[in-house]
Structure 1
Amino acid sequence: MLKVALTGGIGAGKSTVAAKLSELGASVIDADALSREVVAPDTEGLAAVVSRFGPVVLTADGSLDRAALASLVFDSAPARAELEAIVHPRVRARAREITENLPEDAIVVQDIPLLAETGQAPGFHLNIAVEAPRELRLERLAARGLSREDALRRIDAQASDAERREVCDLVLDNRDDLHELERHVAMLWKERILPFAENLRLERAEIRPEKLQFVESDPAWPHRFEHLAARLRRVMGPSAVRIDHVGSTAVAGLPAKDVIDIQVTVVSLHIVDAFAEALGDAGFFGRILFDSPKPEYPNVDDWEKRFYGYADPGNIAQIHFRSIDSPGQRFALMFRDWLRADAAARADYAQAKGVLAAKADSATDYAERKEPWFDHEGWPRANRWAAETNWHAPVC
């Protein structure tokens, strides 16, 4: 089951996107609708709200007076936090209940206005933000009957666009007409959401393209890493001793394949095997693999790891689970830090990558051709740099 979170500020057009996704086949769960449901008359949620804020928040017929409640909490952060502590857990529980009753191959989209504020993003396979310029949002809210002052207060009470981008995998821009927005949503459904769901159903990761292609260093790479790392942390908790961005995409300014390499340090690889099912539920699938041994550590068993990928075709990743203090774990961190610190080393590696890529027929061929460079250049030079600078692999 693919779980997607949809978020956006008031007036950005989130509901329009949700409606289009529903039309395309998604099962949409509206957090705003659930927030009303859990405080409906005769519910435990409404009783909890009245217990905290008093009968003044009730109408004559015993239902929740939303205007009265808003006047109590809108300008008071502590009161708002208390209300959220009552409502949010009940909304999440109801959303889980609905989700559990859907078919296993469903694509579930949860419309969550406060995704960034509530820290729920790592629990979803894919997070989508809808954005629109502030003035355009104000115009839309005015058309709904809100005064400019009230609309501004509501916008400013929510997370900013930047804060939502920090937790979302992609952004839909809703500054154009409805047709254009729906066209983008349909493309997203066809090119990313449906293949993602199929990968989950077949329990497979999206593999890197065999056609070798380098791209310029992308400032989005660190954000893509953080989104994946947050999902891994949610699954593994403290069993993941460290989660690090490694490889070429972790070095600013270095051209690379558009694939995020992540190293997860664990005490033992058996821990990873114990988490295999939970990792699969989160979209990570893998197998046993061995890194290529280096001269001082010729025993191939010393280089065992668990090699996983992610099921999202829009964020191809390679996750290397390695045990702490193993030569592979140490080298991945050392090599990255050496390239970050040494401009000459970066230039040499970039040149070597270019030469080897020109001779390679595929990404696999390129990876095989690169191993001798690591043996004769990367490994000894990085180790000399580590000795000269007293570099040590961080423990936690």
Structure 2
Amino acid sequence: MLRVALTGGIGAGKSTVAAKLSDLGARVVDADALSREVVAPDTEGLAAVVSRFGPAVLDADGALDRAALAKIVFDSPAARSELEAIVHPRVRARARELTDAMPDDAIVVQDIPLLAETGQAPGFHLNIDVEAPRELRLERLEQRGLPRADALRRIDAQASDAERREVCDVVLQNGGDRHELERRVTLLWEDRIVPFAENLQLGRYEPRPEKLQLVETDPSWAHRFEHHAARLRRVMGPSAVRIDHVGSTAVPGLIAKEVIDIQVTVVTLHIVDAFAESLGDAGYFGKVLHDSVKPEFPDPAQWEKRFYGYADPGNIAHIHFRPIESPGQRFALLFRDWLRSDARARDEYAHAKRALAAKFELAGDYTAAKEPWFDNEAWTRANRWADETGWHAPVC
């Protein structure tokens, strides 16, 4: 089951995206609708709200007077937090109940306005944010009958666009052209969401493209790493001793393949094997591999690792699980820090990458051709740099 979270500020057009995804075949779970359901008449949720805020929040029929409640909570952050503590756990429980009843091959989209505020993003395979200009959002809310001052308060009470972007994998800009927005949703569905779901069903990660392409450094690589790290921490907890961004995409200014390399340090690889099912549920699938053996550590067993990839075709990542203080674990961190610190080494590595890219069209051939540079240059020079600077691998 592919789990997608859909978020966006009030008036951004999230409902339009949700409706289009539903038309395309997604099963949409609407958090706003559930927030009404869990405080409907005769529910214990409504009883909890009345117990906290008093009978004045009820209308003449005994139902929740949402306008009266809004006046209380939007003027008081403390009151809003107390209301959220009542409503949010019940909404999440109901959403889980609905999702658990769906078939394994379903694509489930949960419409969650407060995704960034509630910290739920790592629990989803893909997070989508819908954005619109602030003034356009205000116009839409006024057209719905909400006074401008109230609309401003509601917008400001939510996370900012920047805060939502921090936790989302996809940002859909909605400038007001509904057909254009729906077209981009369809493309996202066909090019990313459906293939992602197929990979999950088949238990496979998305491979890197066979055709080699090196691109200039991209600031989004750091955000993509953080998204993966949050998902991995959610699955493994303290069993992941460290989660580090490694490889070329972790070195600012260095050209790289569009693949995020991540190292997860563990006490033993048996721990990774114990988490295999949970990692698969989160979209990560893997196998046993070995790093290239170096003369100082000739035993291949010292270089064993678990290699995992992510199932999202729009966010290709390689996860290297290595035991703490193993030579491979240490070198991944050393190589990254050496290149970050030594501009000359970084430039030489970039030159070597470009020269090899000119010779090889396939990523596999290119990667194999780089190994002599690692063995003859990087290993020796990085370790010399570590001795000269006193560098040592961090352990926690």
Q: What TM-score, normalized to structure 1?
A: 0.99
CA offsets, 1:321-374, max 9 Å, x none?
000000000000000000000100100100111112222241111111111111
Gaps of 5+ in 2: none
Work out whether residues 295 and 375 of structure 1, in 8 Å CA contact, stay in contact via their aligned partners in 2. no
| Aligned partner letter, 1:104 | D
Residue 78 of structure 2 corresponds to which residue in structure 1? 78
> Structure 1: how far apart are the matches of 2:379 and 2:114?
47
Residue 105 of structure 1 corresponds to which residue in structure 2? 105
| Aligned partner letter, 1:140 | R
Cα deviation, residue 18, structure 1: 0.1
Aligned-pair Cα RMSD in Å: 0.7
Q: How does 1:341-380 map to 2 (within 5 A)?
A: 341-380=341-380
CA offsets, 1:284-314, max 9 Å, x none?
0000000001121111110000000000000
| Aligned partner letter, 2:146 | L
% same residue = 80
Cα deviation, residue 211, structure 1: 0.5
1:258 corresponds to 2:258: yes
1:382 corresponds to 2:377: no
Residue 244 of structure 2 corresponds to which residue in structure 1? 244
Cα deviation, residue 78, structure 1: 1.1
Work out whether residues 265 and 329 of structure 1, in 8 Å CA contact, stay in contact via their aligned partners in 2. yes
When structure 1 is superposed on structure 2, of 117-126 and 76-85 the one drifting more is 76-85
Gaps of 5+ in 1: none
Q: How does 1:310-321 map to 2 (within 5 A)?
A: 310-321=310-321
Residue 26 of structure 1 corresponds to which residue in structure 2? 26
> Structure 1: how far apart are the matches of 2:129 and 2:361?
38
Work out whether residues 291 and 305 of structure 1, in 8 Å CA contact, stay in contact via their aligned partners in 2. yes
Report SS of the residue matched to 1:63. Answer: coil
Cα deviation, residue 67, structure 1: 1.3
Work out whether residues 266 and 323 of structure 1, in 8 Å CA contact, stay in contact via their aligned partners in 2. yes
Report SS of the residue matched to 1:127. Answer: strand
> Structure 1: how far apart are the matches of 2:186 and 2:102?
23
> Structure 2: how far apart are the matches of 1:184 and 1:210?
26
CA offsets, 1:218-240, max 9 Å, x none?
11000000001100000000000
> Structure 2: how far apart are the matches of 1:299 and 1:330?
16
| Aligned partner letter, 1:32 | D
CA offsets, 1:72-119, max 9 Å, x none?
111111111111011000000000000000011000000000000000
Q: How does 1:288-303 map to 2 (within 5 A)?
A: 288-303=288-303
Report SS of the residue matched to 1:34. Answer: helix
> Structure 2: how far apart are the matches of 1:18 and 1:29?
9
Cα deviation, residue 377, structure 1: 0.2
Work out whether residues 216 and 255 of structure 1, in 8 Å CA contact, stay in contact via their aligned partners in 2. yes
Cα deviation, residue 194, structure 1: 0.2
Residue 201 of structure 1 corresponds to which residue in structure 2? 201
Q: What TM-score, normalized to structure 2?
A: 0.99
When structure 1 is superposed on structure 2, of 58-67 and 197-206 the one drifting more is 58-67
Q: How does 1:171-182 map to 2 (within 5 A)?
A: 171-182=171-182
> Structure 1: how far apart are the matches of 2:322 and 2:272?
9
